[in-house]
Chain A
């Protein structure tokens, strides 16, 4: 449905997009994720014909954007990241105007406008001035507006920003139902987890470069998880296992937990993991289960943003959210705890690093 090939865009000498490639199938709900200034808006604007790319091409439904702008305007609906509302127009007049703009007039336009207002739950605001609607209502009205000409492809630039959780949920429901009607939807966001349960595939863009595309599973697998702890569960006393693990040079830190569960920060790839298991088994340790902890989306995203490498030490896993908070408390009564304080300090820094970079950029 949407096919982007080697797309590049410069603003002056600044390269906002660098050979972006993307393919989105018909009916997909595609999540387009990237931090501030990554190039999401730029890509989307080029797709809807609001910006001229410097090189590369975009094909929508078999038509190249540059050559078929007029035709594609009928096929594409766009909700920009920032948009204003006309003063002195009511919601219904607003939708009517856009129906007219797409060549739909009279009764047909009236009916369509009413239906769309109902779809986005704004029927009670039909005679309210658009200018006086709340942000979330404007957002919904704008979505309704983008649907006026029944487009096959919807391009939504951060539609959820500024919405409260309830409005977000409602938006998600609307998008899901639109998707089930067979529309292809591209939706951008800063936050991967926000899109996770809704989107069927994702693209992650960073500083103008498409870092990765695929399903959630693809992305999780491709991300570098050697930084996630290995979780081992042993039967009976876990002390021998802990001892054995601590002796290994690749082991950074071992956390014995309750009921035979041990978490190990262990450097190395998949081969090293296999090696580790062999060692444990050879030592006669009764291993019940063994495996890397799965990364949360947040971790995946941050890793990709950092160029695929964790910045300082291991990235924080979900369970580690607690230890960093305990670390300072432990530090006072126990001057030399086993290892935690020095180990956790850099781990805390990791998630904040990208934010710091954004400010610097």
Chain B
């Protein structure tokens, strides 16, 4: 595989065109408005409830704002999950549906430039949305309870997860003919990545338990099998990443769980790895690196997929030969 050149990532024509179109659509401003309306409502409710509790002379507890921030963070993650696939999974298919894509392919833009242009344009749109919600987050700073480092950590993670999810959406947009199919597939894959992996581990854990007890019954020795390396499949899970990030930054164990609530704590319980294992303690950064690599791979694959001249397996070749011989 040839490595992409710098010019593939440079600001390119497709990016400018898409941004120009997007900024003229009312869609963008409407979604910014709706998101912030929603976030502000939540913020107002929480702040009001805090004010009332303060009014009743109970000591004002910073924990309330920490929880407030965590809730907002997860809500923002949920919002990303909902909107990003909708935006990116249409990036290529909509050009196909509008019959503008063929012409784009005949220009001297490379397929890679087209994909990266589309990618940055979609990202810009989504990121603008996310950033527009930051002022609401900033409310928390007025009261303390969240440090700058914590807030920055959460927002950066959300941003990187957005890049991951966008790439998946764009991949399906390149692969499929219809926007609706690409969108549905993106949502399905996200569900599989988040809940499919967890269910798979639970199932595997159950099966391993059964094996353990059968072996124990028959031989009297406990094989003590655990899911071990299977657990690393969760590196691809964006939900685990944002969870680990929050749990680490805000010390969940202190007020929600009794023990270590990070991914390291949870996985060390169900594997033979110690909770000090670096592969577990660095869960957030490692999983983000894994996810960025997947995103990269998806985009590379997407730029191959949209190339009309790429070699495809010809499943009819044999049938044609047979027909020819018959004739």
Most interface-central of A74, A100, A101 (chain B CB within 10 A): A101
Task: Give every chain B residue within 8 A of A74 (Cβ-Cβ).
Answer: 108
Task: Give every chain A residue within 8 A of B12 (Cβ-Cβ).
Answer: 100
Counting CB contacts under 8 A, is B109 at the interface? yes
Task: Give every chain B residue within 8 A of A100 (Cβ-Cβ).
Answer: 12-13, 16-17
Counting CB contacts under 8 A, is B107 at the interface? yes
A212 CA / B311 CA spacing, docked (Å): 31
Tell me which residues from 76 to 118 in chain A have a Cβ below 8 Å from any Cβ of chain B: 76, 78, 80, 82-89, 93, 97-98, 100-103
Tell me which residues from 214 to 254 in chain B have a Cβ below 8 Å from any Cβ of chain A: none
Interface contact B108-A149, CB-CB below 8 Å:
yes
Interface contact B21-A88, CB-CB below 8 Å:
yes
Counting CB contacts under 8 A, is B2 at the interface? no
Task: Give every chain A residue within 8 A of B311 (Cβ-Cβ).
Answer: 52
Partner of A86, one of B100, B108, B316, B323: B100
Counting CB contacts under 8 A, is A261 at the interface? no
Tell me which residues from 51 to 89 in chain A have a Cβ below 8 Å from any Cβ of chain B: 51-52, 54, 66, 69-70, 73-74, 76, 78, 80, 82-89
Counting CB contacts under 8 A, is B58 at the interface? no
Interface contact B320-A50, CB-CB below 8 Å:
no
Q: How large is the interface on A (under 10, 10 to 19, 20 to 34, 35 or more residues)?
A: 35 or more
Partner of B17, one of A50, A97, A142: A97
Counting CB contacts under 8 A, is A12 at the interface? yes
Counting CB contacts under 8 A, is B30 at the interface? no
Interface contact A85-B308, CB-CB below 8 Å:
no
User: A11 — nearest CB in chain B belongs to which residue?
Assistant: B316
A295 CA / B108 CA spacing, docked (Å): 45
Interface contact A101-B13, CB-CB below 8 Å:
yes
Interface contact A86-B106, CB-CB below 8 Å:
no
User: A48 — nearest CB in chain B belongs to which residue?
Assistant: B106
**Do A73 and B108 contact each other (CB < 8 Å), given the known contacts A49-B309, A84-B98, A84-B99?**
yes
Counting CB contacts under 8 A, is A183 at the interface? no
| Nearest CB on A from B93, distance (A) | 13
Interface contact B21-A101, CB-CB below 8 Å:
no
A76 CA / B123 CA spacing, docked (Å): 33
Task: Give every chain B residue within 8 A of A73 (Cβ-Cβ).
Answer: 106-108
| Interface residues in B, total, Cβ within 8 A | 31
**Do A101 and B20 contact each other (CB < 8 Å), given the known contacts A51-B308, A52-B308?**
no
| Nearest CB on A from B95, distance (A) | 8
Task: Give every chain B residue within 8 A of A80 (Cβ-Cβ).
Answer: 99, 102-103
| Nearest CB on A from B312, distance (A) | 8
Counting CB contacts under 8 A, is A169 at the interface? no
Counting CB contacts under 8 A, is A13 at the interface? yes
A87 CA / B100 CA spacing, docked (Å): 11
**Do A102 and B107 contact each other (CB < 8 Å), given the known contacts A50-B102, A84-B98?**
yes
| Nearest CB on A from B114, distance (A) | 9
| Nearest CB on A from B258, distance (A) | 55
Name A's interface SS. Answer: loop
Interface contact A93-B14, CB-CB below 8 Å:
no
Interface contact A98-B107, CB-CB below 8 Å:
yes
A50 CA / B309 CA spacing, docked (Å): 7
User: A102 — nearest CB in chain B belongs to which residue?
Assistant: B108
| Nearest CB on A from B173, distance (A) | 16
| Nearest CB on B from A212, distance (A) | 25
| Nearest CB on A from B256, distance (A) | 47
A83 CA / B102 CA spacing, docked (Å): 8
Task: Give every chain B residue within 8 A of A83 (Cβ-Cβ).
Answer: 99-100, 102-103
User: B100 — nearest CB in chain A belongs to which residue?
Assistant: A84
User: A93 — nearest CB in chain B belongs to which residue?
Assistant: B20
Counting CB contacts under 8 A, is A10 at the interface? yes
Task: Give every chain A residue within 8 A of B14 (Cβ-Cβ).
Answer: 101
| Nearest CB on A from B63, distance (A) | 47
| Nearest CB on B from A130, distance (A) | 10
Counting CB contacts under 8 A, is A140 at the interface? no
**Do A97 and B13 contact each other (CB < 8 Å), given the known contacts A49-B308, A50-B308, A84-B98?**
yes
User: B323 — nearest CB in chain A belongs to which residue?
Assistant: A13
Counting CB contacts under 8 A, is B138 at the interface? no
Partner of B106, one of A13, A52, A78, A103: A78
A51 CA / B106 CA spacing, docked (Å): 11
Counting CB contacts under 8 A, is B210 at the interface? no
| Nearest CB on B from A77, distance (A) | 8
Task: Give every chain A residue within 8 A of B109 (Cβ-Cβ).
Answer: 101
| Nearest CB on A from B107, distance (A) | 4
Partner of B25, one of A13, A88, A102: A88
Interface contact A50-B105, CB-CB below 8 Å:
yes
A95 CA / B155 CA spacing, docked (Å): 39
Partner of B320, one of A10, A52, A88: A10
A85 CA / B17 CA spacing, docked (Å): 13
A97 CA / B320 CA spacing, docked (Å): 43
Tell me which residues from 36 to 77 in chain B have a Cβ below 8 Å from any Cβ of chain A: none
Interface contact A13-B319, CB-CB below 8 Å:
yes
**Do A88 and B103 contact each other (CB < 8 Å), given the known contacts A50-B308, A101-B108?**
no
Counting CB contacts under 8 A, is A145 at the interface? yes
**Do A69 and B102 contact each other (CB < 8 Å), given the known contacts A88-B21, A89-B20, A89-B21?**
no
A352 CA / B109 CA spacing, docked (Å): 46
Interface contact A103-B319, CB-CB below 8 Å:
no
Interface contact B309-A69, CB-CB below 8 Å:
yes
| Nearest CB on A from B239, distance (A) | 35
Tell me which residues from 164 to 203 in chain B have a Cβ below 8 Å from any Cβ of chain A: none
Counting CB contacts under 8 A, is B82 at the interface? no
Q: Mark A134-155, 1 if CB is under 8 A from B, else 0.
A: 0000000010010001000000
Interface contact A50-B106, CB-CB below 8 Å:
yes
Tell me which residues from 83 to 138 in chain B have a Cβ below 8 Å from any Cβ of chain A: 98-100, 102-110
A–B pairs, 20, beta carbons within 8 Å: A13-B319, A13-B323, A49-B105, A49-B308, A50-B105, A52-B309, A54-B314, A82-B99, A83-B100, A83-B103, A85-B100, A87-B21, A87-B25, A88-B25, A93-B20, A97-B17, A100-B13, A101-B13, A101-B104, A149-B107
* 9 extra interface residue pairs, beta carbon distance < 8 Å, beyond A49-B106, A84-B100: A12-B316, A66-B309, A69-B309, A83-B99, A86-B21, A87-B98, A88-B20, A101-B104, A142-B103
**Which residue numbers of B lie inside 8 Å of A, CB to CB?**
12-14, 16-17, 20-21, 24-25, 98-100, 102-110, 308-312, 314, 316, 319-320, 323
